[in-house]
Structure 1
């Protein structure tokens, strides 16, 4: 008899995200689906009521620009703050592609029960930031997802300390503007190495101190600083020249600073 796999490779679909996805689909089906008025948002949206399932699909299309995404997310977040809790579920549902990608990466290698806690905290952080996120700044969804990642890694660091969080460079994901995409695509295009991507991910996106990171690797901090600076310069140049074909919102846009 085959042993049941108890790792988290698919388990995250069974917990908080699956429950949220089910609730979301209940809200967007039937005679009165949860919808936005495309005329009120503008930026090329159809001038009619758009249910949130269709809206999610529209935002995933290549032609969906950053201004449209921010306008939509500003509208959704405001509704989540002012209306009934259905709009909180709506926000989670529209962000589901990014949340699922994040769950897959942050639960990799963890036991199923720990994966459940990781994903639960990830969703909790995401929802909490709906009340706090600055809607006047760009890249609303990428910033929400960075907070969700912070919650996930907080639990993972506590429960899975024996599993290296950045063991692998993440695969490209189908969400424009997420910084992990930029690093993964840059590695795939051989603009930076996997070790350089880990360095940037840890010290830029996760906020780890470069000196502490160098200490764990047993290398001089000055050497890592120069290596990071050179890698970020190559990455910024590749983005500018179009060699890395994903958008560069959020922290990735400041890599050369």
Structure 2
């Protein structure tokens, strides 16, 4: 029997990454006369028969699929993965592949290097969460997806923070200090004590990645309004930090320049319109007019916050995970 190739099919000789291998392995499980299946009679909304896992996945991705059915199926998969491992762990990964590949595509789109390590960390985060995820809370797949995202995001940040390779004959150079990539802006703000890790993750997910605030709040067991207020306070601190730091930045750094321009625009708008119509929440602590002149960071205004630094903001609804995943 010939050895299995680690190359992609179709003549593409690039090596497979971990998600490619997971996809192919899952395909083997559901192919042939005896595919790995679930007893559909145990789950409302599934056919009354043994249902192959790829068909189960299609059912869960359908909009009409109730959340209770999705959670019941995922609780069953997680428990079998924990108790039996092997086949059922591969099955769980295969069932989650639409979400995991979407996360990988989103994170890799901002990384010019080899994304294999990022993909591997996404898969590692998902597998780690399989062993710890709370099955009594709703939206199990959403929380597994978020664990995978955080793991991949941390790997991406680590890769972006590394030095740029410089070899003879190439015109590459180190990144322009102190800003550069938007993720590094958040990482530097955390390192300098301006933001907490949670603040940076919140801004990165809901501003840069387009994750709805309601989903973030549900995953972190908080109210949507509390998350909006926390993000607003964090973004105001970040805006001050960027405004103060951009003055010393390299003038060729487009990210820093665009951030400074956005802050100036917000300040001019606040000066023109004053503070009429603004209501101060308890979180504002009765903010003074001087503080208010910086302008608020609206939870709904498309031009608000630091997202994109001058680019079009992402959709307010994440496209990473299909509605019924």
TM-score, shorter chain, exceeding 0.5: yes
Task: Give the Å deviation of 1:230.
Answer: 5.8
8 Å Cα contact 2:236/2:297 also seen in 1: no
> Do the aligned partners of residues 159 and 60 (structure 1) sit closer, same or farther apart at CA in structure 2, a change above 3 Å counting?
same
| TM, length-normalised to structure 1 | 0.65
Q: What is the match of residue 222 of structure 2?
A: none
1:32 aligns with 2:57: no
Q: What is the match of residue 158 of structure 1?
A: 158
Task: Give the Å deviation of 1:34.
Answer: 1.1
Task: Give the Å deviation of 1:154.
Answer: 0.3
Is there any run of 5+ residues in structure 2 with no aligned partner, and where? Answer: 1-13, 162-179, 184-203, 217-226, 244-262, 268-283, 285-290, 303-314, 319-325
Q: What is the match of residue 109 of structure 2?
A: 108
Q: What is the match of residue 24 of structure 2?
A: 22
Cα deviations across residues 74-98 of structure 1 (Å, max 9, x unaligned)? 1111111111311111111111111
Task: Give the Å deviation of 1:43.
Answer: 1.6
Specify the structure having the higher radius of gyration (Cα). Answer: 2
| TM, length-normalised to structure 2 | 0.52
Q: What is the match of residue 297 of structure 2?
A: 227
Task: Give the Å deviation of 1:231.
Answer: 5.5
Q: What is the match of residue 52 of structure 1?
A: 53
Matches within 5 A, 1:123-202: 123-161=123-161, 162-165=180-183, 179=212
Aligned counterparts of 1:36 and 1:180: Cα–Cα separation in 2: 34
Cα deviations across residues 201-256 of structure 1 (Å, max 9, x unaligned)? x949xxx9546533444369976894245659xxxxxxxxxxx9979xxxxxxxxx
Q: Write out the 4+ residue segments of structure 1 that deviate beyond 3 Å after TM superposition.
A: 165-171, 178-183, 208-217, 219-226, 228-232, 244-247
8 Å Cα contact 1:210/1:225 also seen in 2: no
> Do the aligned partners of residues 24 and 230 (structure 1) sit closer, same or farther apart at CA in structure 2, a change above 3 Å counting?
closer
Q: Which one has a larger percent helix, Structure 1 or Structure 2?
A: 1
SS of 1:59's equivalent? helix
Aligned counterparts of 1:38 and 1:179: Cα–Cα separation in 2: 32
Cα deviations across residues 24-73 of structure 1 (Å, max 9, x unaligned)? 00111112211111112x22211111111101111111111211111111
Q: How many residue pairs get matched?
A: 198
Aligned counterparts of 1:213 and 1:43: Cα–Cα separation in 2: 47
Aligned counterparts of 1:180 and 1:19: Cα–Cα separation in 2: 33
8 Å Cα contact 1:77/1:130 also seen in 2: yes
8 Å Cα contact 1:23/1:89 also seen in 2: yes
Aligned counterparts of 2:209 and 2:160: Cα–Cα separation in 1: 18
SS of 2:128's equivalent? helix
Aligned counterparts of 2:300 and 2:209: Cα–Cα separation in 1: 21
